[in-house]
Amino acid sequence: MKKKKYFSKKNVTQRRVTNFDSAPHAKKAEYAKVNGGVFLYNKPISVAELSKAINVPTSAIIKYLFLNGKAVTINQILDDEMIGTLCLEFGYDFKKEEPSVSAEHFEDLEIQDDPKDLKPRPAVVTVMGHVDHGKTTLIDAIRNSHVAEGEAGGISQAIGAYQKEVKGQKITFIDTPGHAAFTAMRARGASVTDIVVLVVAADDGVMPQTLEAISHAEAANCPIIVAINKMDAPGANARKVKEELLAHNVVSEEYGGDVIMVEISAKTGKGIDELLDAILLKAEMMELKANPARYASGTVLESNLDKGEGPKATLLIQNGTLNASDFVVVGEIYGKIRRMVNEHGETLKSAGPATPVAVTGLEAVPSAGDRFMAFPTEREARDIAEKRALEKRAKEKSGTSALSLSDLNNLVNAGKVQDVNVIVKADTDGSAEALKSSLEKLSDDKVKIKVLLSAAGAISDNDVSLADASHAIIYGFNVRPDARVRALAEEKGVEIHLHRIIYELLDEMKAAAKGLYKAEMVENVTGEAEVRHIYKISHVGTVAGSYVTSGVIHSGSKVRVLRAGVIAYEGKLASLKRFKDDVKEVRQGYECGLMVEGYNDVKEGDLIEGYEMVEKQ
């Protein structure tokens, strides 16, 4: 009789480590508990969880929040401020402890591979440069160079990246050129690029977007290789390009620096081999490595909804090996991979580090820049995706994490050493340079000020995305952002400070760096209401039946009662109702009933002015 085989050799060699096996800090427990009258927690807390931990019915929690103007549901994640208020209300002290990195925060997980498991991996390259300097032509030229017979099995497909084999070694090229996509990715916490190829046209020289690309690459700590393109064009002058780059601290090897510069023509193909060699050389010096023997993790490069195949995503595997049958969490979505193909449309069974693959089988379309991780079981993948979705929603509610001068001020006061990234835009090159050096001189042992970009010109949306990705503050000197850029900055939570006098700008930064910054607050009138009827209600007080004549009146707003243009009272709203219901706000053209806290002498004909205090811009 044939002996039954329990362990096939194949199974043993193919066992992959999960992404947490060698990261001992990764599995610390999460908790939400009361200990000696203190509510301790280290994770997102829903109403139901808090209710259980502090032994207060959910209805009491929901009611309390409702009466304070916040409508929540039982499964809603509470922000820290709400948790604090609720604990105090119900007789507990509270303490949030640093969350441990757990499976659902896999982007924060620093995978610690045993050095002996690490194998060399291909470099991932992004092409950047000024418009029309030949980025797209170069990407295509590389893709089509030396296509060995039979190499490309199928028709090449645009999946967002491709791999090129050069002298038996692979290089991965990201298809989308330019720094906008690069920085958008970084703003989402994903850095996929190892090397930036900076394309500069030899007949045009260093241009504004060349400089932007340099700043973006430097902010990401990405080494640059310069491709001096269009060497075939009349008027091509490589020397001039090198000198212009030298003036911006990108120093070629022949001038004693460490930046490799290669003269090429993307059009004729001349110099492309040398450029590829240079990339291999740089990659070798960088000793890029990964561990193929673990479950895969990486980043979404592109995604779309395919009519036939459903949600489809291009994943760049950054560590580990992805198998065609793995379960993956992508962003907040999970799925079992149905089909995995390369850029030639060939079906793959597995793919290793630095490989781009297009996968189907996800339950929805993820976003570019989302991180992914593969898991051994469906249950694990589903649980983690669900937790991530909950947290994302909670985060969206609680705003952004960009650095502001007030934050910096508070961090300095808390004794934390702080690196501050700054972007300077000014009306002239001279003032941009002067501001850069004066700002950097403000650095001391507590605060390191680093100017990522200083340039002449208006504040652009690229500046805002760089600031967003690098947690930078933008300073404008004699320049202003337009409404679109301002709106983008507001959306991303990026702070823009505008000045017209150099020493005021420097004083402001100096104050923040010393922990002495006070944002100047100014008043912003949100709306006005006219009092039309007065109702005296016993045990309650005076309700002013009013009509909002302009703007918006918010519940709890600071208000001023104006009688014939004179301030009769200043305070805040105690209640704001439409008919019998409490409301958050009432807009122009609507009636409302309002009460002013501590003031019952409102009269017909009074004007109620609602206002808020905002940081002066």
Does 145 participate in binding ligand GDP (rule CB under 6 A)? no
Nearer to ligand GDP, 82 or 199 (CB): 199
Residue 164, φ and ψ in degrees, nearest 5: -120, 135
- CA-wise closest residue to 456 among 486, 439, 478, 472: 478
Nearer to ligand GDP, 70 or 267 (CB): 267
Give the binding range for ligand GDP (CB under 6 A) out of 264-272, 293-301, 357-365, 512-520. Answer: 264-272
State the sign of the Cα–Cα–Cα–Cα dihedral 371, 377, 378, 380: negative
If you write DSSP's letter for every residue of 356-396 in order, what string do you get? EEEEEEESS---TT-EEEEESSHHHHHHHHHHHHHHHHHHH
Pair of tokens at residue 192: 């996929």
x/- letters, 202..231, toward ligand GDP (CB under 6 A): ---------------------------xx-
Does 504 participate in binding ligand GDP (rule CB under 6 A)? no
How many residues make contact with ligand GDP (CB under 6 A)?
16
- CA-wise closest residue to 322 among 364, 291, 353, 368: 353
Candidates 44, 122, 160, 177; binder of ligand GDP (CB under 6 A) is 177
Strands 581-582 vs 472-477: parallel, antiparallel or unpaired = unpaired
Q: Least Å distance between CB 221 and ligand GDP?
A: 24
Radius of gyration of the chain (CA): 30
Nearer to ligand GDP, 136 or 588 (CB): 136
Does 136 participate in binding ligand GDP (rule CB under 6 A)? yes
Does 267 participate in binding ligand GDP (rule CB under 6 A)? yes
Chain length of the chain: 617
Distance CA 349, CA 334 (A): 19
Nearer to ligand GDP, 133 or 387 (CB): 133
Q: Least Å distance between CB 266 and ligand GDP?
A: 4
Candidates 16, 42, 113, 134; binder of ligand GDP (CB under 6 A) is 134
Asked whether 375 and 339 are in contact (CB, 8 A), the reply is no
Candidates 266, 453, 548, 595; binder of ligand GDP (CB under 6 A) is 266
Q: Least Å distance between CB 486 and ligand GDP?
A: 28
Q: Which residue is nearest to ligand GDP (CB)?
A: 134
Q: Least Å distance between CB 141 and ligand GDP?
A: 8
Nearer to ligand GDP, 232 or 273 (CB): 232
Find the binding residues for ligand GDP in span 39-68 (CB under 6 A): none
Does 336 participate in binding ligand GDP (rule CB under 6 A)? no
Candidates 16, 43, 135, 186; binder of ligand GDP (CB under 6 A) is 135
Q: Least Å distance between CB 209 and ligand GDP?
A: 9
Q: Least Å distance between CB 144 and ligand GDP?
A: 13
Strands 447-456 vs 322-323: parallel, antiparallel or unpaired = unpaired
What secondary structure letter does DSSP report for 155? -
561 forms beta bridges with 569, 608
Distance CA 541, CA 594 (A): 11
Strands (E), 122-194: 123-129, 161-166, 169-174
Pair of tokens at residue 562: 């104006």
Q: Least Å distance between CB 462 and ligand GDP?
A: 15
Nearer to ligand GDP, 136 or 431 (CB): 136
Nearer to ligand GDP, 276 or 293 (CB): 276
Write the CA distances from 538 to 396, 424, 533, 543, 600, integer angstroms. 43, 60, 16, 11, 11
- CA-wise closest residue to 122 among 319, 259, 256: 319
Candidates 43, 121, 133, 497; binder of ligand GDP (CB under 6 A) is 133
Give the binding range for ligand GDP (CB under 6 A) out of 29-37, 41-49, 127-135, 310-318. Answer: 127-135
Give the binding range for ligand GDP (CB under 6 A) out of 71-79, 157-165, 263-271, 357-365. Answer: 263-271
Distance CA 608, CA 562 (A): 6
Does 242 participate in binding ligand GDP (rule CB under 6 A)? no
- CA-wise closest residue to 356 among 153, 177, 175, 161: 161
Does 151 participate in binding ligand GDP (rule CB under 6 A)? no
Close Cβ partners of 439 (under 8 Å, ≥ 6 residues apart): 422, 424, 449, 451, 475, 506, 509
Does 557 participate in binding ligand GDP (rule CB under 6 A)? no
Does 183 participate in binding ligand GDP (rule CB under 6 A)? no
Write the CA distances from 210 to 161, 204, 234, 431, integer angstroms. 22, 11, 21, 20
x/- letters, 82..121, toward ligand GDP (CB under 6 A): ----------------------------------------
Q: Least Å distance between CB 143 and ligand GDP?
A: 13
Residue 501, φ and ψ in degrees, nearest 5: -130, 125
Asked whether 356 and 343 are in contact (CB, 8 A), the reply is yes
Give the residues lining the site for ligand GDP (CB under 6 A): 129, 131-137, 177, 229-230, 232-233, 265-267
